[in-house]
Homo-oligomer: A and B are copies of this chain.
Amino acid sequence: MSEAAPATAVTAALLIIGNEILSGRTQDANLAYIAKGCEAIGVRLREVRVVPDMEAEIVAGLNALRARYTYVFTTGGIGPTHDDITAAAIARAFGLAIERNAQAVAVLEAYYPPGQLTEPRLKMSEMPVGASLIDNPVTSAPGFQIGNVFVMAGVPAICKGMFDGLKSRLVGGPLMLSRSISCPLPEGQIAEALAAIQNRYPQVEIGSYPFFRRGVPGTALVLRSPEAALLDEAAEAVRGMVRRLGGEPGESAA
């Protein structure tokens, strides 16, 4: 259970575009990277959607998310082939015309040897009018920003490069801090005492994640809050609870 984020929280959503994720052919590798990157700068990733390569689905998903969250990231569908329809769908969602972005054309011209900037590759310069570029340090073809939406490639190496580059444009809120405590007792033995601590510290988000180590059940307890003093107090209460119930609290990977 988490309390609603404070009014000052800066939020984000991720729209993953691609049939290959929905068919199970490709395991998404961008969500966790973007989530951690957001967390590190005080942006809270609050929702993720995965939609197929269908314009109506992309438009509906994007419009729902961009109205609700401070920032929206999209991954996938910005290459040169017929199934790359993200730029057109995003222009449609914003009600904007699409154009060959002059800066993007220049980037592609500089990257490809003479004669190799084919029409399909030029398609990668097509963006909604008013878009600003997101650098692609791997294969040059840029992503773009329009309004609060950041459009990136799906290939993980390119997506990471783009996200690292655009992060400086994001204005984060209070940093979310966390404490992770490993508890050698199963959830069923600590749940009531843990709920009491959660009730005492409603502004601290306390997550409980069961694990098995060599067949022995234990629980990873993760406490999160932007307020360090409160967080440390709640973490100390959790450690005390674990000891009182007969376990020895340990450090756990956050």
* Chain A residues close to B by CB (< 8 Å): 1-2, 4, 16, 19-28, 31-36, 38-39, 44-54, 57, 79-85, 116, 118-121, 123, 155, 176, 178, 187-192, 194-195, 198, 205-210, 222, 224, 254
Each complex incorporates copies of this chain amounting to 2
Are the C-beta atoms of A191 and B81 separated by less than 8 Å?
yes
Contact B28 A210 (CB under 8 A): no
Complex contact B254–A53 (CB within 8 A): no
A47 / chain B contacts, CB cutoff of 8 Å: 22, 49-52, 57
Instruction: From the candidates B22, B26, B123, B194, name the one contacting A48 in the complex (CB within 8 A).
Output: B22
Q: Which DSSP category, helix, strand, loop or mixed, fits chain A's interface?
A: mixed
A36 to B35, CA, bound (A): 25
Given known A-B contacts A20-B209, A35-B22, A118-B188, A52 and B46 have beta carbons under 8 A apart: yes
Instruction: List 9 A-B residue pairs with CB atoms under 8 Å apart, sorted by A's residue number.
Output: A2-B19, A23-B39, A49-B49, A81-B191, A82-B194, A83-B206, A83-B207, A84-B208, A123-B191
How many angstroms from the CA of A27 to the CA of B27 in the assembled complex?
A: 10
**Smallest beta-carbon distance A214→chain B, Å:** 15
List the 5 closest pairs (A to B, CB-CB), nearest first.
A24-B35, A120-B191, A24-B36, A48-B50, A81-B208
Contact between A19 and B205 (Cβ–Cβ < 8 Å)?
yes
Q: How far is the CA of A31 from the CA of B24 in the complex (A)?
A: 7
Identify A120's interface contact among B34, B82, B187, CB under 8 A. B187
Rounded to whole angstroms, the CA-CA distance of A135 and B27 in the bound complex is: 26
Q: How far is the CA of A22 from the CA of B189 in the complex (A)?
A: 27
Known contacts A46-B52, A187-B120, A222-B25; is A83 also within 8 Å of B208 by CB?
Answer: yes
